Amino acid sequence: MSSLLFPILLTAAAYAKAKTALAKLTNTNKAALATGMGWEKGPCVGNIAAITAIGFPELCLQDGPLGVRYAPGVTAFPAGITTGSTWDTSLMYARGNALGTESKALGVHVQLGPVAGPLGKIPQVEYEMHLSDWKLNRIGWKELGSFSNDPYLAGVAMAQTVTGMQAASVQACAKHFIGNEQEHDRSSMSSNIDDRALHELYLWPFTEAVKANVSFVMCSYNKVGPAWACENGTLITNILKNELDFQGWVVSDWAAQHTTVGSSNAGIDMSMPGDNFGDNKFVWGVALVSAVSSNQVAQSRLDDIALCILAGWYFLGQENSYPTITGWSSWSTATSGAPSVSGTHNTVAQAIARDGIVLLKNSNNALPLKKPASLAVVGYDAVLNPQGANACVDRDCDNRTLAKGWDSGTAQFPHLIAPLDAIKAQASTDGTVLATSTSDTPSAGDSAAASAATALVFINADLGEGYITVEGNAGDCNNLDSWHNGNDLAAAVAALNKKTIVVIHSVGPLILESILTLPSVVAVVWAGIPSQESGNGLVDVLYGSTNPSGKLPFTIAKAAADYGTSGLFIDYRHFDKNSIVPRYEFGFGLSYTMFSYSNLFISALRAATPSAGIAPGGLKSLYDVAATVSATITNGTVEGKEVAQLYVSLPSDSAGASGNPIKQLRGFSKLDLKPGGSGKVVFELRRKDLSFWDTGNKSWIVPTEKFGVVIGASCRDGRLTGTLGS
């Protein structure tokens, strides 16, 4: 193992135990430790056979990022993208800790999450050979598990989630390493990412997960350059294990391993599920032992594989009275005797569903609703699937309200509070006369919309994982339109009701120009993918018991053609570079109050420590604090939360790095303020936050010129500006 970049992941004690256990294992044992038992050969989606000689149990790897897949009695948490839109580190941690707590109680050792990407794919375009080579023919936004397409925001969320999960003694998995940016042809395409974009964008969230001591990393299906990601030694060994000093273990995605020798020597440490979905053709197992015997794979490589896996198990104390799986299986609906593990985690789920809501438009203070005399609720998306919340396998349908997308990371809903159900309860309390039309046919809502003082229109847009096709969408969505003619429905209602409020459930951005510009559409709410507490979280915001505080984790454009990806320039970086005005910029979100910013303070730039070194192997200094920036945020008349965002501009032509993005997110802080109250936000800028990756020297460089500093309410709402450096 190389010298450590971050605090020791796998402690000396864990490695000492692992080495003692390793000495008792034969090569057959070691290969078994690294080879999945086979598809559906154990209760979990991934299973490693027990080794009684060392007291190693049958290790359970289970989906997923949103909840424990297939298990009963669990919480179905909001999607990563909705968690990201809270911009709340405490909720990110709480969600991760709740996921870990439920996983451990069910006997799960390894939870397959969190998800780091995609980053650069809005709107999305099919890979030719390079991320900078696009043709606009397909939209993909696989954001069910991931938090944002900004690497800094995604990195913070990854770190908080990992820390929360592993505090519950469950091993977290950062995935998918790397370049898994779309579902279309993911098992055959090549993601060719230039070195600077790789380090500054795509690698960034994984680096933060490693810094947070993530136990293991999952490699991806796609190729990166000529090699499969799970057989790419440059990525796995040179970058992940050596450059980042990752001390954990690397697992293949299911059926992402192609050869025995190539994957072994590239640096992966575990094969899942072993036989590639039940074909009984194990890539490792006996074949790995034979490869070692024939010197195609070094004995030291096999030993290192086993050592990493064992050390990860010991690191979190999983050898000590860990729960066993009782009463549930991924392959059976029978759940007799399975524990209920959700506890009070519904409160975490509701807080995220609520605080992840982004208020996009609010003309003349149309929201919050104040005991309206009459209210129309219109749209397919307002109600529960009549066959039940869990009627569609892996949520493979868009049948009524959208609370989860479809993929292998879904969890069973213990319940699903649809918007209309929660609104009915509030309307009953308020004495509001309620009219409903739960069809997406524009003409169907006419009578309901015309009869009410205010109309709520619900629309959605779904997507998921590529092994399922829903309404012609094979994982990636085919365009950036709402599904089921949602925009037409909203326009039809707005033609009849002069106080129309549109609520959107979607996994990512939509083009909304046809409704946003209508004067009768007085408010627009993006409610993300809220999961089980959907209606409860929404009512909290619509009726004002909670002030909306969500901020967009992506940019909403006026037209699909406004988006683009070219090297470093994704999302708001692209809009800035090309002077494109978005409909709603990254970081945008309205409130029922107003916040003012003052008292900007920027410290002097601190010199690097003498032992710094900025080259690989000496990167630790990049996490030293280089400068401190602070400001005061003051609230107006309504209690609320504000997300103060820090953006940094590297010099426009730093030595060796021309063409820097105009600005990049490098800090955020969410304050909860009483009416008239003030609070201080303090941002510690690390040297890495002020660096660029020099592709020639293969190192991080901190420019010597002045940096621009902006603190504001979004990437285009800078309230305070200054400079850092001499």
Start-end of CATH 2.60.40.10 domains in the chain? 595-724
pLDDT band at 132 (very low <50, low <70, confident <90, very high): very low
The proportion of the chain whose per-residue pLDDT surpasses 70, expressed as a percent, equals 92
Q: Average pLDDT for residues 80-90, to the nearest whole number?
A: 97
Q: Average pLDDT for residues 290-306, to the nearest whole number?
A: 98
Q: How many Å separate Cα 367 from the centre of its chain? A: 29
Average pLDDT of the chain, as a whole number: 90
The proportion of the chain whose per-residue pLDDT surpasses 90, expressed as a percent, equals 78
**pLDDT digit string, tens, across residues 156-195:** 999 999 999 999 999 999 999 998 877 776 766 778 889 9
Question: Is the per-residue pLDDT at 4 higher than 80?
Answer: no
**pLDDT digit string, tens, across residues 623-645:** 999 999 999 999 999 999 999 99
CATH topology for the 357-577 domain? Rossmann fold (3.40.50)
Environment class of 695 (CB within 10 Å of its CB; exposed 0-12, middle 13-18, buried 19+): middle
Question: Is the per-residue pLDDT at 105 higher than 80?
Answer: yes
Local structure of residue 167 (DSSP, 8 states):
H
Spatial CA neighbour of 523 closest among 538, 508, 533: 538
Furthest C-alpha separation in the chain: 81
Clarify whether 446 is annotated catalytic: no
Note the helical H segments in 139-267.
151-167, 195-197, 204-211, 233, 260-266
Q: Average pLDDT for residues 314-332, to the nearest whole number?
A: 94
Lowest mean pLDDT among 128-142, 320-334, 567-581: 128-142
Question: Is the per-residue pLDDT at 117 higher than 80?
Answer: no
Spatial CA neighbour of 250 closest among 177, 318, 159, 146: 177
Alpha-carbon distance of 649 to 326, in angstroms, equals 54
**pLDDT digit string, tens, across residues 495-550:** 999 999 999 999 999 999 999 999 999 999 999 999 999 999 999 999 999 999 99
**According to the model, what pLDDT value does residue 658 have?**
64
Q: Average pLDDT for residues 344-369, to the nearest whole number?
A: 98
Which CA distances in Å does 283 have to 29, 91, 257? 16, 40, 7
Question: Is the per-residue pLDDT at 563 higher than 80?
Answer: yes
pLDDT band at 333 (very low <50, low <70, confident <90, very high): confident
Q: Report which of residues 679 and 10 the model is more confident about.
A: 679
| Encoded tokens for 118 | 């995609």
Residue 189 near residue 133 (C-beta atoms within 8 A): no
Q: Average pLDDT for residues 657-678, to the nearest whole number?
A: 93
Start-end of CATH 3.40.50.1700 domains in the chain? 357-577
Residue 681 near residue 720 (C-beta atoms within 8 A): no
Q: Which CATH superfamily is domain 12-315 in?
A: Glycoside hydrolase, family 3, N-terminal domain (3.20.20.300)
DSSP structure string for 353-372: HHHT-EEEEEGGG--S----
**According to the model, what pLDDT value does residue 5 have?**
43
* CB neighbour list of residue 145: distance below 8 Å, 6 or more residues apart: 64, 65, 66, 79, 80, 113, 114, 115, 407, 409
Environment class of 610 (CB within 10 Å of its CB; exposed 0-12, middle 13-18, buried 19+): exposed
Amino acid at site 76? A
How much is the pTM? 0.95
Lowest mean pLDDT among 9-23, 320-334, 527-541, 593-607: 9-23
**According to the model, what pLDDT value does residue 325 have?**
96
**According to the model, what pLDDT value does residue 334 have?**
77
Residue 127 near residue 189 (C-beta atoms within 8 A): yes
**According to the model, what pLDDT value does residue 179 have?**
86
**pLDDT digit string, tens, across residues 38-79:** 999 999 999 999 999 999 999 999 998 999 999 999 999 999
Question: Is the per-residue pLDDT at 139 higher than 50?
Answer: no
**According to the model, what pLDDT value does residue 1 have?**
33
Question: Is the per-residue pLDDT at 292 higher than 80?
Answer: yes
Domain spanning 595-724: CATH 3.30.70.20: no
Start-end of CATH 3.20.20.300 domains in the chain? 12-315
**According to the model, what pLDDT value does residue 471 have?**
84
**According to the model, what pLDDT value does residue 152 have?**
98
Q: Report which of residues 144 and 346 the model is more confident about.
A: 346
Question: Is the per-residue pLDDT at 120 higher than 70?
Answer: no
**According to the model, what pLDDT value does residue 429 have?**
97
pLDDT band at 657 (very low <50, low <70, confident <90, very high): low
Local structure of residue 198 (DSSP, 8 states):
I
Q: Which of 106-110, 142-146, 393-397 has the highest mean pLDDT?
A: 106-110
Question: Is the per-residue pLDDT at 478 higher than 90?
Answer: no
Q: Which of 63, 253, 355, 398 is catalytic?
A: 253
